[in-house]
Amino acid sequence: MSAGASVNVSTRIRARVSGGNRMMLLLLHRWDARIALMILALLTLSGIAPEMLVGPLQTATSATAAALLPPSGTHLFGTDDLGRDLLNLTIHGARISLVVGALSAAITLVIGGGIGMIAGYRGGRIDALLMRVADTFLILPTFVLALILAPILRELIGAQTEIFGIRTTLLTIVAVIGLTSWSSTARIVRSQTLSLRERTFVERARLVGLSPMQIIARHIFPNIRTVLVANGIVVIAGSILTESTLSFIGLGDPFQPSWGTILGNAQSAAAPSLGAWWFITAPGCAVLLTVAACTIIGNAIDELLDRDVRVRR
């Protein structure tokens, strides 16, 4: 398709739809975003209904195959050191990795988005104070903070407790990632809020007597939702990477294995030395595809938003 035809299609799309529907249609117009959306849809389906796809999660007691079998017609991804089917483990691991990534991103967006909007709208000393706190978290390595806080929170909460069927071992990782990775989101939201607070509709809201929190809720937040979505998708990718790393070094939950837990088990079983490449390939590719898909979609939304801004100007 020529560049002129592409512009015409995009123009017709803008004219007919708006908001989230327009953004989705524009994403579907990009071939890379279509592939990324399909990957995320398949992974989400795997996380929602793993039992329907591969049956119940195999454990050391329920596994019936031999250890470290290579991929075959019976075991498409091979087996691990305990004889568990790696396709089964990878599909079930999708639920844990995606849940941790989504919940961590939600915490990050709530904290970072809230602080960014308040700092950007109020300005002055409040802005300076909140941004100094954000800068402190920004310069500290997220993984190092998570590495320090994870065992502390686990000890305080207790590893055997369950909340809505999710063990607190995983919820601890969710809280740690969310509480340590909000600063960049706060910076992005603040910059957007600084430009929005000077718009005419915000000035009118002030004149009619709306409070700052009402203006933020009714006028600022609706105008940065798409930015939050774009940032949230990228945050999910980073959260999955952080969770995989924490689980790889043994801070995950062995009873609810994620992709990082499987990779950690492969390392413990010396799979690379034994030539059991399939033990690493399945969970490793799952992490790689998820992170790549989230990054592609987030970058695509950013590019579309930048294009809209240029068109408006």
Q: What is the pLDDT along the chain (313 residues), one digit of tens a residue?
A: 444 444 444 444 443 444 557 777 778 888 888 999 999 999 888 888 888 999 999 988 888 889 999 999 999 999 999 999 999 999 999 988 888 888 889 999 999 999 999 999 998 999 999 999 999 888 877 777 777 777 777 777 665 666 545 667 777 788 888 888 899 999 999 999 998 998 999 989 999 988 999 999 999 999 898 889 888 898 999 889 988 988 898 878 777 889 999 999 999 999 988 899 999 999 999 999 999 999 999 888 888 877 655 545 4
Residue 196 lies in a domain: yes
CATH of the domain at 111: 1.10.3720.10
Residue 149 lies in a domain: yes
Residue 305 lies in a domain: yes
Distance CA 258, CA 131 (A): 34
pLDDT tens digits, 124-146: 999 999 999 999 888 877 777 77
CA neighbor of 81 nearest in space, from 279, 217, 244: 279
Cα 126–chain centre separation: 29
Residue 260 lies in a domain: yes
Write down the mean pLDDT value for the chain: 84
pLDDT tens digits, 219-249: 999 989 888 988 889 899 988 998 898 889 8
Domain that holds residue 191: 98-313
Tokens at 91, concatenated: 């599909």
Q: Contact 205/218 with Cβ under 8 angstroms?
A: yes
Query: Cβ contacts of residue 297 below 8 Å, gap of 6+?
Result: 27, 33, 36, 37, 40, 233
Buried b (16+ CB within 10 A) or exposed e, 123-162: eeeebeebbeebeebeeeebbebbbebbeebbeeeeeeee
Residue 70 lies in a domain: no
Residue 15 lies in a domain: no
Give how many domains the chain has, as a whole number. Answer: 1
Residue 306 identity (one-letter amino acid): D
**What global pTM score does this model have?**
0.82
Q: Alpha helix (H) ranges present in 55-167?
A: 86-122, 124-139, 142-157
Distance CA 127, CA 121 (A): 8
Distance CA 284, CA 113 (A): 31
Which residues, in sequence order, are bridge partners of residue 166? Answer: 163
Helix 168-180 to helix 142-157 angle, to the nearest 10 degrees?
140
Tokens at 236, concatenated: 């999910």
Tokens at 154, concatenated: 């686990």
Residue 84 lies in a domain: no
* DSSP state for residue 166 in the 8-state scheme: E
Q: Contact 235/177 with Cβ under 8 angstroms?
A: no
* DSSP state for residue 216 in the 8-state scheme: I
Q: Alpha helix (H) ranges present in the chain?
A: 3-16, 19-28, 31-48, 50-54, 86-122, 124-139, 142-157, 168-180, 183-196, 200-207, 212-215, 221-248, 259-268, 271-274, 277-312
Residue 9 lies in a domain: no
